[in-house]
Amino acid sequence: MNQVFISNSLTPIIENAGSTTWASLAHTTAAGDAHDSAMMGIWDPYGVQFLDGTTSALSLIAPDTLSKITAAGGTYATDSIGAHGNIAADQHAITVNPTSPQWLNSAFQVVQAMPSGNPVASPIIQTSQVKRLRWDPFAAPVLQKLTINLGDDGAETDVAVDDVLQLVVLITMPGDIAFYEAQINPGGAVTSVTPALGHAFDNPKRIYKSAEYVCASTTKETEFNAFEAAIDGTDQSFSDFVSISDNGAAGIFVEAKFFGMRIDAFVTINGNKITGTRGVSNACTNGVGSFAEVISNEKKAQYSQGFHNRMYLPTGGVTSASTAPGSAGTGYDRLVLEYVNSNSSMPGFNKAGNTSTCTLYTPNDTSFAAEATGIFYEDVFGLSRLNGDAGATAVEYNW
């Protein structure tokens, strides 16, 4: 089972006090501090209450189970769940970060409010079933951008009248189609893609060529600039996927239009490849928590078997991902829980087939300074590192 839960509130999860039922949750597209009616909650099915991290009884994982070595005269860090005492200047604590932290509750469910109808929820997950927890702060994706320097290789890049220049672009889509579909048109059908989307994405690598440009002089800089102007923004088959821009006298920039797309490019003269310098201006990275990622994963979860209401019926394609979560609207932080079916030894089921994933997205501008703005989310899942802000670094537990 693959499930995705999304909070668009600066308070990632609902507080326990006064929130006694799932009906206390409230759907929103972007909201500030509303910890008594947040969009998502961590439910204790046995204690019949929401977990908010305010006490050990209302947490899943004990943070700061082990401490780092302290400097001379230093003290143990304190935490909202208990506090350590001082240590002498010549004493040290063991330096390790826990990979198998202490569970404080035996089971939980992730519950999210929907725009209409019943809230959706995960199955009851026994904490003994959880095998991995990974929390990553938001990281903006970066489009790959190449530099192609055309005029730096001496006689080989000399041009003559009637020489033919052409740009060749190699495009690879290593990710899944939903990621790119979400960027093209998250609200409906994919349009203005040539060739048709199915052909473009079914082929793991595709080669595109620009229109041919015929040189009118022997001046390299003049002709290369005219070549760039001729192919930039024209209705070429590759212009739906890459953009071309001028790089001064040196050559051109070729930039991908989709996050996660890998490109390579070169220029030919009369069909022969120019060996001018080719470099990477921006390296490609998918990042963490962009709108494209979140809505793509949400759609995949709904399409397969992920989002169910309390009667285990599909929700009908309603999405919660927002281009402006929280207040700043930058993107989402991501928490992934992997757990196994307790009946994994059933005939016909292998270990991989019994591994489920529960992904939680929360606004990356959430503050962990107070319970009302997210510190209990940090404490529920044991994200704290010696009172350091959970937004600073990734956290991973493996059991």
- In tens digits, the chain (399 residues) has pLDDT values of 788 999 999 889 999 987 889 999 998 877 888 788 899 999 999 999 999 988 888 989 876 554 444 444 555 444 333 344 455 555 555 444 455 567 889 999 999 998 877 888 999 999 989 999 999 989 888 889 998 877 654 444 678 899 998 888 888 876 665 565 555 555 545 555 544 555 445 446 778 888 888 999 988 778 887 888 888 766 556 677 788 887 766 678 888 887 778 888 888 888 888 766 677 788 888 889 988 888 878 877 776 554 444 444 445 567 888 888 887 668 999 999 999 876 555 566 555 567 889 999 999 888 888 888 888 898 899 886 544 455 567 888 887
Strand 213-214 relative to strand 395-398: parallel, antiparallel, unpaired?
A: unpaired
Q: Which residues of 230-256 are buried (b: 16+ CB within 10 A; e: fewer)?
A: bbbeeebbbbbbbbbeebeebbbbbbb
3-state secondary structure of 84: coil
Helix pair angle (177-184, 291-303), 10° resolution: 120
CB 291 within 8 A of CB 330: no
Amino acid at 246: D
In terms of C-beta density within 10 A (0-12 exposed, 13-18 middle, 19 or more buried), how is residue 20 classed? exposed
pLDDT of residue 360: 97
pLDDT of residue 363: 92
**19, 127: one domain:** yes
71 inside domain: yes
294 inside domain: no
**314, 396: one domain:** yes
From CA 275, how far away is CA 284, in angstroms rounded? 23
In terms of C-beta density within 10 A (0-12 exposed, 13-18 middle, 19 or more buried), how is residue 316 classed? exposed
**260, 329: one domain:** no
Tokens of 201: 């994405």
Strand 355-363 relative to strand 205-209: parallel, antiparallel, unpaired?
A: unpaired
Count of domains for the chain: 2
CB 298 within 8 A of CB 305: no
Q: What residues does 339 pair with on adjacent strands? A: 130, 356
**174, 250: one domain:** yes
pLDDT of residue 317: 63
295 inside domain: no
Does the reported pTM lie above 0.85?
no
Measure CA of the first residue to CA of the last residue in the chain; give whole Å: 20
Q: Considering Cα of 284, then 287, then 289, then 294, what sign does the dihedral take?
A: positive
299 inside domain: no
What is the residue range of 233's domain?
Answer: 145-282
From CA 230, how far away is CA 77, in angstroms rounded? 62
**367, 391: one domain:** yes
Question: What are the CA-CA distances from residue 298 to residues 6, 227, 265 (Å)?
Answer: 9, 42, 33
Question: What are the CA-CA distances from residue 312 to residues 98, 123, 316 (Å)?
Answer: 36, 10, 12
Q: What residues does 4 pair with on adjacent strands? A: 359
**157, 243: one domain:** yes
**48, 101: one domain:** yes
292 inside domain: no
**229, 329: one domain:** no
282, 315, 337 — which closes off a domain? 282
250 inside domain: yes
122 inside domain: yes
**17, 130: one domain:** yes
**278, 331: one domain:** no
**257, 352: one domain:** no
pLDDT of residue 149: 78
**128, 6: one domain:** yes
290 inside domain: no
